[in-house]
């Protein structure tokens, strides 16, 4: 995310601090082993979609979808321990305008910002002169979460879905954003270009001569932008909360913004997560409870897109909608509810280029970082985990009403599968207890609040709870966390890991799950679900820290070969390797290395009693630095081909990179280039599996 869009305000005023005392025996935590708890539209504008900022993203839904590869159900009981052994030497830190990789590997640039996806886009220009139309038909800016969807059952052909979290206006335009003497935006094409640089890219890529390449003009290539028309599903669909002049029946919303972490589903769709979206809207009226809780801006919008409201070229209120001040006689006459269409998990079927994106409101409305499903069991509900990335915010899970049917993995109607598993279920928020157990607190109307009432005393419907998810979570006594980012599930053990990136504003009170004051370096927590949907057991897997820190800070015994700070992106591959990516802002580690990606195989770290271990002075050599990004960047987004021969990772907001197609070639000293976020392709020179 970077400091550019991070909102440092503490919006959680609930003071939920279930365990307010600083834990006294910090060091004993290092040896802590989890305690078992029985684990084993219609729109108001006919022909809508023709907006100045976009016209090709509201498809009619007629072309046949492509069939993804089928999934073969396992026929034997899988082992509970990975046999993967990391086969590279941990690399040193790096601070150059280039990526760093282990010996025997190569890294090159794929699909950088501005790469044309079809012939409507002109080639990217290094003077920033590309138009809004170019941008609408080209890869967006500031790559973040990502997933690879194979095509034709091949490991050399597929679709890369890439989130674009936010923009750098100075890099996007020739001379930065144009504004008048009052700071008001004046150039429509600039604003449309900015809106179009947001969202998601779906990119067909193929491996040819050992180089992954974008297939320009492929029928699957498409963009979802900050203007794309999307359907609403789940409790908020067709509710009065979604009623706007554009969508008076509350069935649709326009655009997806600040798409940070991602997920995917067992039925082959992509999930993109709306994170720091509140700042894109402004209200000059009295904020509603949910607007105040989530942090809607009261001064101006982040990029001033609303400044062009009322201009002659504006279509369908495309700029006016970002100012959500009530102005009309009712919600159907203005955009007071426009922001209510944001803050969700959005499902995209990449295999069907004519499908619309769907906002799955049942999974809660907050600043979603990622969305990860738990270990699947036939006949059991599917669980999705998602963290709310702000200081002192919460961890959530959604448990589907429908139970998992393996045949659904191969359904050709993937959106119907989303309807089946993601529209009806129960949303829970996590409460961590200091004895290594925890409780998932349901957010339903009859949920008990900490003052002995129920949520029904504060909310009149499930839709109202969802709209103000964090406000409801305050009332039931959830645990305020140190900025929950991505979650990932170990395919062998089913343990769920979650990055807690940092919280330098935790100055007064810790809790068991967030035990360091002034948590500059972050940590990774993990848990196992219990026998009941409301139970879990947890421990802290690793604490970020600089090598030089004292024992109370460097609790995992990290050294120069694995010191890290601010874990953010997190993923497991199916071999059981966990990949940890960083978005660091702490000088103590930044002075040694740029942001990075590390690897570890947690399920193989067993003690004499076969219990999963944590990273400690004894086991820290299991955590290895695999990759370092160029100066100024964040490393985020992880994807891997099913033969493990290619890893994709994203470089977001580099300061002076990429100089050439070779990601490891430094920009020459003294040369300044227009920076471009990009995917980096990492492969072994011998074509073997990455990481082992």
Binding site for ligand FEO (CB under 6 A): 1, 165, 260, 275, 369, 389, 485, 568
- Print the binding letters for residues 552-581 with Ca ion: x by CB under 5 A, - otherwise: ----------------x-------------
Rounded Cα–Cα distance for residues 487 and 575 (Å): 17
Please choose which of Ca ion, ligand FEO, none residue 634 contacts, taking the beta carbon within 5 to 8 angstroms, the exact cut-off set by kind: Ca ion
- Measured in degrees and rounded to the nearest 5, phi and psi for residue 159 equal -115, 125
Give me the least distance between CB of 262 and ligand FEO, in Å please: 11
Return the number of the residue (474 or 568) whose C-beta is nearest ligand FEO. Answer: 568
Query: How would DSSP label each residue in 424-485?
Result: SEEEEEEEE-TTSEEEEEE-STTPBPTTS-BGGGT-SSHHHHHHTHHHHHHHHTPPPEE-EE
SS3 helix, strand, coil % of the chain, rounded to 5? 15, 30, 60
Does 122 help bind Ca ion (rule: CB under 5 A)? no
Dihedral sign, Cα of residue 312, residue 318, residue 322, residue 327: positive
Site residues (CB under 5 A) for Ca ion, limited to 646-665: 652
Does 1 help bind Ca ion (rule: CB under 5 A)? yes
| Contact yes or no for 413/514 (Cβ under 8 A) | no
Return the number of the residue (142 or 223) whose C-beta is nearest ligand FEO. Answer: 142
Q: Which two tokens stand for residue 93?
A: 């830190």
Please choose which of ligand FEO, Ca ion, none residue 349 contacts, taking the beta carbon within 5 to 8 angstroms, the exact cut-off set by kind: none
Give me the least distance between CB of 568 and ligand FEO, in Å please: 6
Rounded Cα–Cα distance for residues 651 and 671 (Å): 20
Q: Which two tokens stand for residue 36?
A: 């078992």
Query: How would DSSP label each residue in 109-177?
Result: EES-TT-BSSTTSPPP-TTS---HHHHHTB--SSEEEEEEEESTT-SSEEEEEEEE----HHHHSBTB-
Q: Which DSSP state fits 245?
A: S
Stretches 323-331, 504-512, 582-590, 596-604: which one binds Ca ion (CB under 5 A)? 582-590
Give me the least distance between CB of 521 and Ca ion, in Å please: 13
Residue written as token pair 């006919």: 46
Return the number of the residue (6 or 432) whose C-beta is nearest Ca ion. Answer: 6
Please choose which of ligand FEO, Ca ion, none residue 655 contacts, taking the beta carbon within 5 to 8 angstroms, the exact cut-off set by kind: none
Give me the least distance between CB of 220 and ligand FEO, in Å please: 26
Q: Which two tokens stand for residue 526?
A: 């993990």
Return the number of the residue (390 or 495) whose C-beta is nearest ligand FEO. Answer: 390
Q: Residue 294, by phi and psi: left (phi above 0), alpha (psi -120 to 50) or beta?
A: alpha
Give me the least distance between CB of 603 and Ca ion, in Å please: 25
Give me the least distance between CB of 516 and Ca ion, in Å please: 17
Give me the least distance between CB of 367 and ligand FEO, in Å please: 8
Return the number of the residue (165 or 573) whose C-beta is nearest ligand FEO. Answer: 165
Site residues (CB under 5 A) for Ca ion, limited to 499-538: 501
Return the number of the residue (337 or 501) whose C-beta is nearest Ca ion. Answer: 501
Please choose which of Ca ion, ligand FEO, none residue 275 contacts, taking the beta carbon within 5 to 8 angstroms, the exact cut-off set by kind: ligand FEO
Of 2, 118, 131, 413, the one binding Ca ion by CB under 5 A: 2
Please choose which of ligand FEO, Ca ion, none residue 547 contacts, taking the beta carbon within 5 to 8 angstroms, the exact cut-off set by kind: none
The Cβ of residue 303 has, within 10 Å, a number of other Cβ atoms equal to: 22
Return the number of the residue (142 or 293) whose C-beta is nearest Ca ion. Answer: 142
Please choose which of ligand FEO, Ca ion, none residue 408 contacts, taking the beta carbon within 5 to 8 angstroms, the exact cut-off set by kind: none
Rounded Cα–Cα distance for residues 189 and 132 (Å): 6
Dihedral sign, Cα of residue 61, residue 62, residue 68, residue 72: positive
Of 528, 583, 595, 689, the one binding Ca ion by CB under 5 A: 583
Please choose which of Ca ion, ligand FEO, none residue 318 contacts, taking the beta carbon within 5 to 8 angstroms, the exact cut-off set by kind: none
Residue written as token pair 């269409």: 341
Please choose which of ligand FEO, Ca ion, none residue 201 contacts, taking the beta carbon within 5 to 8 angstroms, the exact cut-off set by kind: none
- Measured in degrees and rounded to the nearest 5, phi and psi for residue 278 equal -60, -30
Return the number of the residue (529 or 568) whose C-beta is nearest ligand FEO. Answer: 568
Return the number of the residue (334 or 485) whose C-beta is nearest ligand FEO. Answer: 485
- How far is C-alpha 682 from the chain's CA centre? 21
Give me the least distance between CB of 501 and Ca ion, in Å please: 5
Return the number of the residue (263 or 418) whose C-beta is nearest ligand FEO. Answer: 263
Return the number of the residue (336 or 388) whose C-beta is nearest Ca ion. Answer: 388
Return the number of the residue (335 or 344) whose C-beta is nearest Ca ion. Answer: 344
Rounded Cα–Cα distance for residues 149 and 167 (Å): 26
Buried b (16+ CB within 10 A) or exposed e, 233-254: bbbbbbbebbbbbbbbbbbbbb
Rounded Cα–Cα distance for residues 365 and 294 (Å): 9
Beta bridge mates, 204: 159
Give me the least distance between CB of 4 and Ca ion, in Å please: 7
Dihedral sign, Cα of residue 183, residue 184, residue 185, residue 186: negative
Please choose which of ligand FEO, Ca ion, none residue 529 contacts, taking the beta carbon within 5 to 8 angstroms, the exact cut-off set by kind: none
Give me the least distance between CB of 162 and Ca ion, in Å please: 14
Site residues (CB under 5 A) for Ca ion, limited to 628-647: 634
Give me the least distance between CB of 387 and ligand FEO, in Å please: 8
Rounded Cα–Cα distance for residues 659 and 511 (Å): 45
Query: How would DSSP label each residue in 61-120?
Result: S-SPPPPPPP-PPP-SPPPSS------SPPPPP--SSS-B--TTEEEEEES-TT-BSSTT
H and E: helices and strands count for the chain: 9, 30
Residue nearest to ligand FEO (CB): 1
Return the number of the residue (12 or 426) whose C-beta is nearest Ca ion. Answer: 12
Give me the least distance between CB of 580 and Ca ion, in Å please: 12
Site residues (CB under 5 A) for Ca ion, limited to 211-270: 260
Give me the least distance between CB of 165 and ligand FEO, in Å please: 6
> What residue ranges bind Ca ion (CB under 5 A)?
1-2, 260, 501, 568, 583, 634, 652
């Amino acid at each position: 995310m970077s400091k550019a869009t991070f909102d440092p305000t503490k919006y959680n005023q609930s003071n939920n601090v279930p365990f307010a005392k600083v834990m006294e025996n910090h060091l004993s935590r290092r040896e802590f082993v989890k305690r078992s708890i029985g684990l084993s539209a219609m729109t108001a504008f006919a022909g809508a979609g023709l907006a100045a900022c976009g016209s090709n993203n509201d498809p009619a839904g007629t072309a046949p979808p492509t069939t993804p590869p089928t999934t073969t159900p396992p026929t034997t009981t899988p082992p509970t321990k990975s046999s993967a052994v990391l086969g590279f030497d941990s690399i040193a830190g790096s601070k150059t305008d280039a990526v760093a990789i282990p010996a025997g590997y190569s890294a090159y640039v794929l699909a950088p910002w501005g790469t044309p996806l079809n012939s409507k886009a002109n080639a990217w220009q290094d003077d920033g002169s590309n138009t809004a139309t170019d941008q609408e038909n080209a890869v967006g800016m500031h790559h973040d979460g990502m997933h690879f969807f194979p095509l034709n059952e091949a490991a050399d052909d597929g679709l890369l879905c890439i989130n674009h979290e936010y923009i750098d206006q100075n890099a996007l335009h020739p001379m930065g954003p144009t504004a008048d003497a009052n700071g008001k935006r004046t150039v429509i094409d600039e604003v449309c270009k900015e809106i179009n640089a947001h969202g998601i890219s779906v990119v067909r890529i193929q491996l040819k001569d050992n180089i992954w390449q974008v297939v320009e003009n492929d029928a699957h290539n498409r963009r979802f932008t900050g203007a794309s028309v999307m359907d609403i599903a789940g409790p908020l669909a067709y509710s009065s909360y979604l009623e706007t002049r554009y969508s008076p029946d509350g069935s649709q919303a326009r655009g997806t913004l600040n798409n940070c972490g991602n997920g995917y589903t067992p039925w082959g769709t992509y999930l993109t997560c709306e994170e720091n979206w509140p700042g894109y809207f402004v209200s000059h009226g009295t904020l509603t409870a949910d607007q105040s809780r989530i942090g809607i801006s009261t001064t101006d919008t982040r990029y001033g897109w609303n400044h062009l409201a009322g201009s002659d070229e504006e279509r369908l209120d495309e700029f006016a909608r970002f100012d959500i001040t009530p102005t009309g006689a009712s919600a159907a006459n203005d955009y007071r509810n426009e922001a209510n269409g944001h803050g969700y998990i959005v499902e995209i079927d990449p295999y069907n280029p004519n499908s619309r994106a769907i906002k799955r409101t049942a999974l809660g409305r907050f600043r979603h970082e990622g969305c990860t499903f738990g270990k699947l069991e036939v006949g059991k509900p599917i669980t999705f985990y998602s963290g709310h990335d702000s200081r002192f915010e919460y961890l959530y899970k959604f448990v589907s009403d429908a139970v998992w049917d393996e045949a659904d993995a191969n359904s050709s109607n993937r959106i119907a599968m989303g309807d089946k598993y993601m529209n009806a279920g129960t949303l829970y928020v996590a409460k961590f207890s200091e004895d290594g157990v925890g409780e998932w607190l349901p957010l339903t109307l009859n949920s008990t609040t900490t003052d002995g009432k129920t949520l029904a005393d504060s909310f009149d419907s499930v839709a109202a709870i969802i709209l103000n998810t964090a406000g409801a979570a305050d009332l039931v006594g959830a645990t305020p966390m140190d900025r929950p980012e991505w979650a990932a599930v170990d395919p062998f053990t089913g343990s769920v890991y979650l990055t807690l990136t940092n919280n330098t504003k935790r100055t007064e009170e810790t809790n068991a799950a967030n035990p360091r004051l002034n948590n500059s370096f972050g940590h990774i927590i993990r848990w196992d679900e219990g026998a009941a949907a409301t139970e879990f057991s947890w421990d802290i897997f690793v604490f970020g820290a600089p090598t030089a820190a004292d024992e109370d800070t460097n609790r995992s015994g990290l050294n120069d070969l694995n010191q890290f700070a601010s874990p953010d992106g997190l993923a497991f591959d199916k071999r059981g390797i966990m990949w940890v990516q960083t978005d660091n802002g702490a000088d103590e580690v930044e002075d040694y290395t740029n942001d990075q990606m590390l690897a570890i195989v947690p399920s193989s770290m067993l003690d004499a009693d076969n219990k999963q271990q944590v990273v400690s002075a004894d086991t820290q050599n299991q955590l290895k630095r695999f990759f370092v990004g160029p100066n100024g960047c964040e490393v985020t987004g992880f994807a891997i081909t099913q033969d493990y021969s290619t890893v994709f990772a994203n470089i977001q907001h580099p300061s002076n990179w990429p100089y050439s197609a070779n990601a490891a070639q430094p920009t020459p000293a003294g040369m300044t280039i227009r920076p471009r976020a990009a995917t980096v392709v990492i492969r072994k020179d011998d074509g073997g599996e990455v990481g082992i």
